[in-house]
Amino acid sequence: MTAVTEHPTSVKSTTDPTVHVQDLHVRFASSRGEVTAVEHIDLTVAPGEFVTIAGPSGCGKSTLLKVISGLTKPSRGVVELNGAPVTGPRQDIGYVFQRAALLEWRDVEGNILIQAEMRGMPRAKARERAAELIEMTGLSGFEKALPHELSGGMQQRVSLCRALLHEPQVLLMDEPFGALDALTRERMNVELRRIWESTGTTVMLVTHSVPEAVYLADRVVVMSPRPGRVLEVLDVDLPRHRVYGDTMASPVFQELTTHVRSLLRTTGEAD
């Protein structure tokens, strides 16, 4: 099935946020007819911001990330990265999929370096950066390990290193921790937040977990059921450096998660 393109438009942004989405509609055509995945989406993400997206299954969260990355064409509306329209797959983006999607026959380093091979990055520089990322994500000593020798959390960290190898300005993450157990997921949340703090990358992350959405974000976007619209955008007024336990226990966190849950409950979805 392919996206139906209608009236592609391009409007120059005056403020040049990292991500600018305006009046986005995405419809898919199929033999069963048309499906409107998202409609009237307006969203702006500032440079270095961490935005999480929550919403019921099928409301178009993955579609939104794919449109921003240039993998799916909008049917209507504006999608810009750094003030320029997105017209096709972008090199300056890192994408982390729900499953780690590692090559079983390649070791940790080899899986991370695929990114460099696909982009024709100089090998020495790529290896140096891979070593830094391996260290940063606590994978040191496992450079030569194969995916089946790693835990699920470690595999996801390899996937994260691969997405960060080319130092993308924007990191799009589609339920990256959905397959992990609760404890590993918490650890990954803390690690991701730390990596984000030290790299300054702009992150958009889709999640079904309300605590994850609030803990990680500067702002949480809550979407309606399909056709997905933005129901509400919440500012997360928590310190930039977040200690996991303290954050969970804070009144601001409690209020925000309660509010996000109540919004999702109206959509029939809450964890």
Ligand X SMILES: Nc1ncnc2c1ncn2[C@@H]1O[C@H](COP(=O)(O)OP(=O)(O)OP(=O)(O)O)[C@@H](O)[C@H]1O
> Which residues sit at the interface with ligand X, rule CB under 6 A?
1, 28, 30, 35, 37, 55, 57-63, 226
Pick what 59 binds: ligand X, Mg ion, none; C-beta below 5 to 8 Å, kind-dependent.
ligand X
131: left (phi over 0), alpha (psi -120 to 50) or beta: alpha
Nearer to Mg ion, 62 or 202 (CB): 62
Pick what 35 binds: Mg ion, ligand X, none; C-beta below 5 to 8 Å, kind-dependent.
ligand X
Nearer to ligand X, 49 or 269 (CB): 269
Nearest to 28 by CA among 39, 19, 42, 20: 39
SS3 214: helix
Pick what 85 binds: Mg ion, ligand X, none; C-beta below 5 to 8 Å, kind-dependent.
none
**Both structure tokens of 263:** 């919004």
Over the window 43 to 62, marking each residue x when it contacts Mg ion by CB under 5 A and - when it does not, the resulting string is: -------------------x
Residues 6+ apart with CB under 8 A from 265: none
Nearest to 27 by CA among 256, 243, 241, 226: 226
What is the smallest separation between the CB atom of 8 and Mg ion, expressed in angstroms? 24
Q: Tell me if 258 sits within 8 A of 214, measured CB to CB.
A: no
Nearer to ligand X, 60 or 74 (CB): 60
Pick what 205 binds: Mg ion, ligand X, none; C-beta below 5 to 8 Å, kind-dependent.
none
Report 10-49 residues binding Mg ion (CB under 5 A): none
What is the smallest separation between the CB atom of 47 and ligand X, expressed in angstroms? 25
Distance CA 226, CA 81 (A): 25
Pick what 96 binds: ligand X, Mg ion, none; C-beta below 5 to 8 Å, kind-dependent.
none
SS3 179: coil
